[in-house]
Amino acid sequence: MADRVTITDVARAAGVSVATVSKVLNDRYGVASSTSERVRDVIAHLGYESSLVARSLRSHKTHVIGILVAEFEPFSTEILKGAAEALGDTGYELLAYTGGRHNEGAGWERRYLSRLSGTLIDGAVLVTPTVVDVQSTVPVVAIDPHEGPTGLPTVDSDNLAGAVRATEHLLELGHRRIGLVAGRPDLESSRLREEGYRQALAAAGIAVDPALVRVGDYRKPTSRGPATELLTMPDRPTAVFAANDLSAISTIEVARELGLRVPEDLSVIGFDDIPESRTTTPPLSTVRQPIQQMGATAIELLIALLDGTPVDSTHVRLPTTLVRRASTAPVPSPVVPATVPATVPAPSATEVAALS
């Protein structure tokens, strides 16, 4: 591995002092234009980059925004895409960080912030943090926090309305036995999506059958068991609302293994509209929450806080929309046994004689 290029290397190659290179890097006066141009040519040629730590010590700013996630999965990946797009020409750079363990437990955001704040990042976006009462030396914005909006600036989507619309879509197709593969019990988004399911059924005059509600934990592996339990019931549901797309995709896979056709035998709808939802067989009907826009909005809110720009609200809730694809269809008609014609007995000898 090549040694890191230092400011001393730049000064030596350009034939100037370290102080002169520092002036050029920080756009200070007192350097001739020809000298400045020569120094910048050397910087480009050598590939010199100033250290983030050194930069923060000089100016008390790194112009780096951290996005902190418990793990990299489809939801957080889409958040990152939107955040990167929003940075544009703001002058800020993006640092995506995770501890690399799937089971960080409550309070992971405190640990992450303590490692990065002060010398590496000017502000942070926390994706689905477990707690929001974090003590940080830098501004922080939370996306879809576990317990919902509190005192911390937050961005989320309308989970309740989205879940109501998903369930209404199945009701409009004629389904009455609708199962729910719910999300993680500790998440506000999961609670709201289950509440939306219950509200839609109540509005249709349908009592919620507790046997049709199972917890899937928002993950494919942990959703297989609940989906299997629902689909092997003697009176199984004709449709399933899964609280996120990963759970819905898992439900479709379980249905296929059990010999059920989607949507002919079973309708399935998810929530999120991650890219994988478009490539399932069949493509997944779902509720789209604008995940990339959530990332972009969080970045815009954070930069406003960093710059001291007034904002209309520090709690932003974005709308959700129904996306109809091929995994949902009208409720299948009940199987009616074929009618067998009654057997007509052969005429007796007396009857034959009477007819002759």
Residue pLDDT tens, the chain, 356 long: 456 778 888 889 999 988 888 778 777 778 888 998 998 898 888 877 665 444 544 445 778 899 999 888 999 999 999 999 999 888 888 999 887 555 556 677 777 887 787 668 899 999 988 766 666 678 899 999 887 776 789 999 999 999 999 999 999 999 999 999 999 888 899 999 999 999 999 999 999 999 999 999 899 999 999 999 999 999 999 999 999 999 999 999 999 999 999 999 999 999 999 999 999 999 999 999 999 999 999 999 999 999 888 888 889 999 999 999 999 999 987 644 444 444 445 555 554 454 44
The residue type found at 226 is P
SS3 272: strand
The 10 Å CB-count burial string (b at 16+, else e) for 286-296 is bbbbbbbbbbb
Among 171, 167, 162, which Cα is nearest to 330's? 171
Residues in the chain: 356
User: What integer pLDDT is reported at residue 53 of this predicted model?
Assistant: 46
Distance CA 292, CA 295 (A): 5
Distance CA 295, CA 128 (A): 12
Q: How far is CA 142 from the centre of its chain?
A: 13
User: What integer pLDDT is reported at residue 10 of this predicted model?
Assistant: 85
Q: Report yes or no on whether pTM surpasses 0.75.
A: yes
Among 318, 301, 311, 317, which Cα is nearest to 86's? 301
Strand partners, 1: none
User: What integer pLDDT is reported at residue 152 of this predicted model?
Assistant: 84
Q: Would you state the structure tokens that stand for residue 6, as one six-digit string? A: 């230092």
User: What integer pLDDT is reported at residue 338 of this predicted model?
Assistant: 42
C-alpha separations of 160 from 230, 250, 266, 289 in Å:
23, 23, 24, 11
Alpha helix segments (H runs only) across the chain: 7-14, 18-25, 33-46, 52-59, 74-87, 108-116, 159-172, 188-203, 220-231, 245-257, 291-307, 349-355
321-323 and 286-288 as β-strands: parallel, antiparallel, unpaired? antiparallel
